[in-house]
Chains A and B, each alone.
Chain A
Amino acid sequence: MNDPDIRPESEAVRQTIPPAAVGVRNSLWLRTAILAAALVVSVGISLRYGAHPLSWADLLQVWFPSASDSAGTGRATVISLLWEIRLPRVLAALAVGAGLSVAGASYQGLFRNSLVSPDILGASAGAALGAALGLLLSLSIIGIQMLAFFCGLGAVTLTYLLSRTVGGGHFTLRLVLTGMVVSSLFMAGISVIKALADPYSKLPAITFWLMGSLSSVTRADVRLLAIPLAAGIVALLALRWPLNAMALGDEEARALGVPTGLVRLLVLVSATLVTSATVAVGGMVGWVGLMVPHVTRFWVGPNHRELLPVSALLGALFLLWADNLARWMFAVEFPLGVVTCACGVPVFLFMLRRSQRSWAA
């Protein structure tokens, strides 16, 4: 390739970026713009409707005080409702949805398996055990979340260490198998805690939390979630091209000069950080990290350059509407995990039926 004479026909091509590559980029921007617009509209609707519905005028008066009082609700009340209750919840739904989707897409690329979800290495089970323990010990909400977060990280660390010490087989296979073992162990721990918990005061809270919910999210929770989530998502987005090479296969990636051990470690740490943070705030919200990357791969293809950002937007949109349904469907709050499961199962089956290309090809 060093001799220009060997590629005379490519001279014209050298002058410009390939038109198809430009086309891909344009289509990505268009899709991102459509999703971003849908998100903005959805956030507006989510802020407006709830147990105490607001008018568009109420929402506008938050930014334009001159329009106040015309709607009958005091501006201070509206600001308090939005700032203390609705906005934290909407932001948490966006963040949890985006985080779980990006983590799921990254795990699937890393393990070259579309059936992998973010809890594959025990992060969700670990975080759930931590939260259940926190509820049993009557810790403060911050204490519960911190315990959930660190137990999630601890579970994945245990999985990693065990997979390093047990010999035989391919490392990735060992990692997934030990992840299943550690998850089972932590789920057994949760069962013990549920058996010990007071059936009237603590067991319902533990059970509801294990089904996933954003009903008690506060501004402090959003702040707590923001740093690990942003750090994890940014790291995963930065690793989009090494992830592409890893998705071709470990040997392929190594032959192309990818430091596969380092990339694997960085992806695992980042995705675990994101998953633990989301579980710590929202409980065990299933299906998002499995289904959203599937749908996105079907829509934009498997290249992580497009897959990760579009998954983040689609995941945020999906969880926002799932949480809206959880809020609006019945007079009482419905568990978020049940809504995501109810939406995820038919969509997943439809995707399976519709196209092999989206998930297996």
Chain B
Amino acid sequence: MTLELDQLACGYGRQPVLTGVDLTVDGGELVCLLGPNGSGKTALLKTLAGLLAPLGGQVRIDGRAWADWPARERARLLAYVPQAHAPVFAFKVRDVVVMGRTAQWPLWSGPTPRDWRAAEAALSLVQMDAFADRLYTEISGGERQMTMIARALAQEARFLALDEPASSLDFGNQARMLQTLRRLVKSGIGVLMATHHPEHALRCASRVAIMRDGRLQRAGPPEEIVTAASLESVYRVPFVVSELPCDQPKPIRVCVAQLD
């Protein structure tokens, strides 16, 4: 299964923030979106999730235009994790996660035992089992983000669209999330992830797409795209990209911004 973006233009209202995006994401592939604040990453992911209407071009899954898929089918194909979520009511974490299964049951019905098991399994996958009965409003921002990721996993979609999923996570949770994503990708899921961590792209991505000035500038393998020069051109500060000595088959590269 392939997610195709064909000359896609997206933005808020009638004002495009991003135009002419050509990109494909295959099942079993993780594509990272890198770009400065305001470069249109969120608008792109929201357009994929059906929350913004495309302002031009097309999104297709398996050759069929995204707009032609019914909303419930879309939710079964693509799960979206927002950048932040401000809850109003004190739902239990378990209830929030099981809502990821909404597209699996009829409108007038509710979760079946299978749905509860899937929610439990998703929580277990991100090691949030102990939080299942906690109130969503009373956990930390990072735990809330892990809950959102668990909800997307419970959705059992073929593609995941993640908007800066590591922005509130501590080091340990970042590593666990990346590990989980790797395993999901190995199982055939396609992931499109916006991130402000070039190292995450280097560790996990199959491909990296760089966005700037309202365009998708370059896309390719992380080793080719994530270089000191390209990072400097994106973020407008000097970078050092260096390989760490380690006993792993693939060298580990780190990116550090240079300070005066």
With A17-B113, A256-B99, A257-B74 as contacts: A357 and B137 at CB distance below 8 Å: yes
Set of chain A residues within 8 Å of B92, measured between Cβ atoms: 24, 301, 303
| 1-28 of chain A: CB within 8 A of chain B | 1-3, 5-7, 9-10, 13-14, 16-18, 20-21, 24
Set of chain B residues within 8 Å of A2, measured between Cβ atoms: 156, 187-189
With A1-B184, A17-B116 as contacts: A305 and B110 at CB distance below 8 Å: yes
Of chain A, the residue at the smallest CB distance from B118 is A1
**B89 interface neighbour in A3, A9, A14, A247, Cβ under 8 Å:** A247
**A239 interface neighbour in B85, B107, B120, Cβ under 8 Å:** B107
**A21 interface neighbour in B75, B94, B103, Cβ under 8 Å:** B94
Q: Is the CB of A240 within 8 A of B110?
A: yes
Q: Is the CB of B88 within 8 A of A301?
A: no
Of chain B, the residue at the smallest CB distance from A305 is B110
With A239-B108, A259-B107, A357-B135 as contacts: A245 and B184 at CB distance below 8 Å: no
Q: Is the CB of A361 within 8 A of B103?
A: no
Q: Is the CB of B90 within 8 A of A361?
A: yes
Set of chain B residues within 8 Å of A254, measured between Cβ atoms: 49-51, 71
Set of chain B residues within 8 Å of A195, measured between Cβ atoms: none
Within the assembled complex, what's the spacing in Å between the Cα atoms of A249 and B15? 24
Q: Indicate whether B87 reaches chain A with its CB closer than 8 angstroms.
A: yes
Set of chain A residues within 8 Å of B155, measured between Cβ atoms: 256
Quote the shortest CB–CB distance from B79 to chain A (angstroms).
8
Q: Is the CB of B100 within 8 A of A256?
A: yes
Set of chain B residues within 8 Å of A5, measured between Cβ atoms: 183, 187
Set of chain B residues within 8 Å of A242, measured between Cβ atoms: 102, 107
Main secondary structure of the interface of A (DSSP, over half): helix
Set of chain A residues within 8 Å of B72, measured between Cβ atoms: 257, 259
The residue in B73, B95, B109 that gathers the most chain A C-beta atoms within 10 A of its C-beta is: B95
**Contact bitstring A244-264, B, C-beta under 8 A = 1, else 0:** 110111011111111100110
Within the assembled complex, what's the spacing in Å between the Cα atoms of A20 and B95? 11
**A257 interface neighbour in B76, B110, B122, Cβ under 8 Å:** B76
Quote the shortest CB–CB distance from B124 to chain A (angstroms).
5
Within the assembled complex, what's the spacing in Å between the Cα atoms of A239 and B105? 12
Within the assembled complex, what's the spacing in Å between the Cα atoms of A10 and B180? 14
Of chain B, the residue at the smallest CB distance from A18 is B120
Q: Is the CB of B121 within 8 A of A14?
A: yes
Within the assembled complex, what's the spacing in Å between the Cα atoms of A13 and B115? 12
The residue in B74, B85, B91, B111 that gathers the most chain A C-beta atoms within 10 A of its C-beta is: B91
Of chain B, the residue at the smallest CB distance from A1 is B156
Q: Is the CB of B125 within 8 A of A257?
A: no
Q: Is the CB of B71 within 8 A of A248?
A: no
**Contact bitstring B62-99, A, C-beta under 8 A = 1, else 0:** 00000000011111100110100111111110111001
Within the assembled complex, what's the spacing in Å between the Cα atoms of A159 and B44? 35
Q: Is the CB of A301 within 8 A of B51?
A: no
Set of chain A residues within 8 Å of B82, measured between Cβ atoms: 251-252, 255
**B116 interface neighbour in A21, A248, A297, Cβ under 8 Å:** A21
Q: Is the CB of B107 within 8 A of A263?
A: yes
| 118-165 of chain B: CB within 8 A of chain A | 118-122, 124-125, 132-133, 135, 137-138, 153-156
Q: Indicate whether A113 reaches chain B with its CB closer than 8 angstroms.
A: yes
Q: Is the CB of B116 within 8 A of A245?
A: no
Q: Is the CB of A7 within 8 A of B125?
A: yes
Quote the shortest CB–CB distance from A293 to chain B (angstroms).
11
Q: Indicate whether B117 reaches chain A with its CB closer than 8 angstroms.
A: yes
Within the assembled complex, what's the spacing in Å between the Cα atoms of A256 and B138? 23
Query: What are 17 A-B interface contacts by the 8 Å CB criterion?
Result: A6-B184, A10-B124, A17-B113, A18-B120, A21-B94, A21-B116, A241-B109, A244-B95, A245-B99, A248-B96, A249-B85, A255-B51, A255-B79, A256-B75, A257-B71, A257-B76, A303-B95
Among all A-B residue pairs, the 8 with the closest Cβ atoms = A257-B75, A3-B187, A257-B103, A302-B89, A10-B121, A238-B108, A257-B72, A361-B90
- Chain B residues with a Cβ under 8 A of chain A: 46, 49-51, 71-76, 79-80, 82, 85-92, 94-96, 99-100, 102-103, 105, 107-111, 113, 116-122, 124-125, 132-133, 135, 137-138, 153-156, 180, 183-184, 186-189
Q: A251-B82, A357-B137 are in contact. List 12 more A-B contacts (CB 8 A).
A: A2-B156, A10-B124, A17-B113, A18-B120, A21-B116, A238-B108, A242-B107, A255-B49, A257-B102, A257-B103, A263-B107, A357-B138
